[in-house]
Amino acid sequence: MEISIIILCLILSAFFSGMEIAFISSNKIYLEIEKKQDNFLSQILTKLTQNPSKFIASMLIGNNVALVVYGFYMGDVVLQWIIGFGFQFSYLTTILVQTVISTFIVLITAEFFPKVFFQIYANSLIKVFAVPAYLFYRLFYYISTFFIWISDFVLKKFFKTEGDQVQLYFSKIELGNYITEQMNYVEDDEEVDSEIQIFQNALEFSGVKARDIMTPRTEIVSIDLFETVSDLKELFIETGYSKIVVSQNSLDDIVGYVHSFDLFKKPKTIKSVLMTVEFVPQTILIKDALDLLIKKRKNVAVVLDEYGGTSGIITIEDIVEELFGEIEDEHDLDEELIEQELGEGKYLFSTRLDVEYLNETYKLMIPEEDSYGTLGGFIVNSTKEIPQKGEKIVIDRYHFVIEQASNNKIELVRLTIKE
């Protein structure tokens, strides 16, 4: 009988601890959607979440009651074990042994593992155990109401603060987590609805920095300010771009850019049709860069590194693409990023691909740091040099073979992941 009561108390304690953490960790938007369903479970969830503080208080009360009963019986059982094994301890040592054994068992079986499990599967388990949770919620309702009334009185009387208040809004993080969870259920070959993709992009928009979307220095096509208009025209024809950056002596001294439409004005010099640019640090958030470009009525910004040199360029089009996806133009037609899965744990990747994108798409778990954003950046950051074609590089469990490279950058790699 004593063992049965102890096991029951541990199960109840695990349940109360788990439901407490599940309620806190569950996605509030997910719960609201479930509550809108017209069924019995939705009615239970609605009643459970009407007053979060009372629900959590009820779970705490239930957990404490279970632990008190557990401690009462577990102490006797441990004492019987001590006597049965022939140990003779002093009174204080016996109390200590009882406390250590009882605490260890309850921490493992009723606290640590249940909380971890309920936190990981919070959305599912809060639905599965909604009915028994509601029964205990009603059982301890008046006790929890009494204690909350006491806490509200203390807060208002001595600390001059408002009492318990129900949160009636959702954070952007919760909204983002819900969208991400839903996206995880989409099969790889399924096309994601454009509105959902735009919505997800908008949630992530505020955290993107200029260096994440800029055209890097090594890929900037430029012309010197004192070149002829004929040379500029030839460069427009050769590249097919609509904008050409204009520099003076080097890319670290960009003075503006020229739009292809301005050639119809038949300019005599490049300077006569030169349009100015803005300068921004590579750590600036793109929402701030967009705001700056709109206010200054500029289209192009030069991204500077920590030493004041040119790190890359961004345009309003680049920023808008972060929200609405790729906008096909003459530049995009020339740029083809390769991503092929060659077999189990074997891939062929362009080094311009983002590490975050590769981790999300192929579950590669490549370390992500602020010092780099692309696969090429990860390799260079680890090797501290520019690898050459044919070179083999091992970074932890990632084995790279350089398929294409130039003197100043790597372009294509073959990746094999070793377990």
Beta strand 346-350 pairing with 398-405: unpaired
CB 329 within 8 A of CB 242: yes
Where in the chain are all domains bearing CATH 3.30.465.10? Answer: 336-417
User: Bridge-partner residues for 313, per DSSP?
Assistant: 215, 302
| E strand or H helix that includes residue 341 | strand 339-343
pTM of the model: 0.49
Angle at 64 between CA 16 and CA 168, to 5 degrees: 50
User: pLDDT grade, residue 173 (50/70/90)?
Assistant: low
Can you give the pLDDT at residue 50? 83
Query: Listing from the earlier edge strand, what are the strands of the sheet with 250-259?
Result: 222-224, 243-248, 250-259
- According to DSSP, residue 207 is labeled T
Cα distance between residue 312 and residue 219, in whole Å: 8
CA diameter of the chain: 106
Classified by CATH at the fold level, domain 210-332 comes out as CBS-domain (3.10.580)
Can you give the pLDDT at residue 334? 46
Query: Which carries the bigger pLDDT value, residue 223 or residue 324?
Result: 223
Can you give the pLDDT at residue 414? 95
CB 412 within 8 A of CB 351: yes
Where in the chain are all domains bearing CATH 3.10.580.10? Answer: 210-332
Lowest mean pLDDT among 64-68, 174-178, 349-353: 174-178
Q: Give the mean pLDDT of the chain.
A: 85
User: pLDDT grade, residue 405 (50/70/90)?
Assistant: confident
Cα distance between residue 304 and residue 289, in whole Å: 13
Can you give the pLDDT at residue 77? 87
Beta strand 278-281 pairing with 392-395: unpaired
| E strand or H helix that includes residue 211 | helix 210-213
Residue keyed to tokens 């004929």: 230
Can you give the pLDDT at residue 349? 95
User: pLDDT grade, residue 168 (50/70/90)?
Assistant: very low
What are the Cα distances from residue 362, in Å, to 41, 346, 359?
37, 11, 6
Q: Does pLDDT of 395 surpass 80?
A: yes
Can you give the pLDDT at residue 177? 61
Q: What is the mean pLDDT of residues 350-366?
A: 90
Cα distance between residue 245 and residue 66, in whole Å: 72
Can you give the pLDDT at residue 339? 92
Query: Which carries the bigger pLDDT value, residue 330 or residue 346?
Result: 346
What architecture does CATH give domain 336-417?
A: 2-Layer Sandwich (3.30)
Lowest mean pLDDT among 108-117, 235-244, 293-302, 332-341: 332-341
Number of Cβ within a 10 Å radius of residue 312: 22
Sequence-distant (≥ 6) Cβ neighbours of residue 35 within 8 angstroms: 42, 45, 46, 49
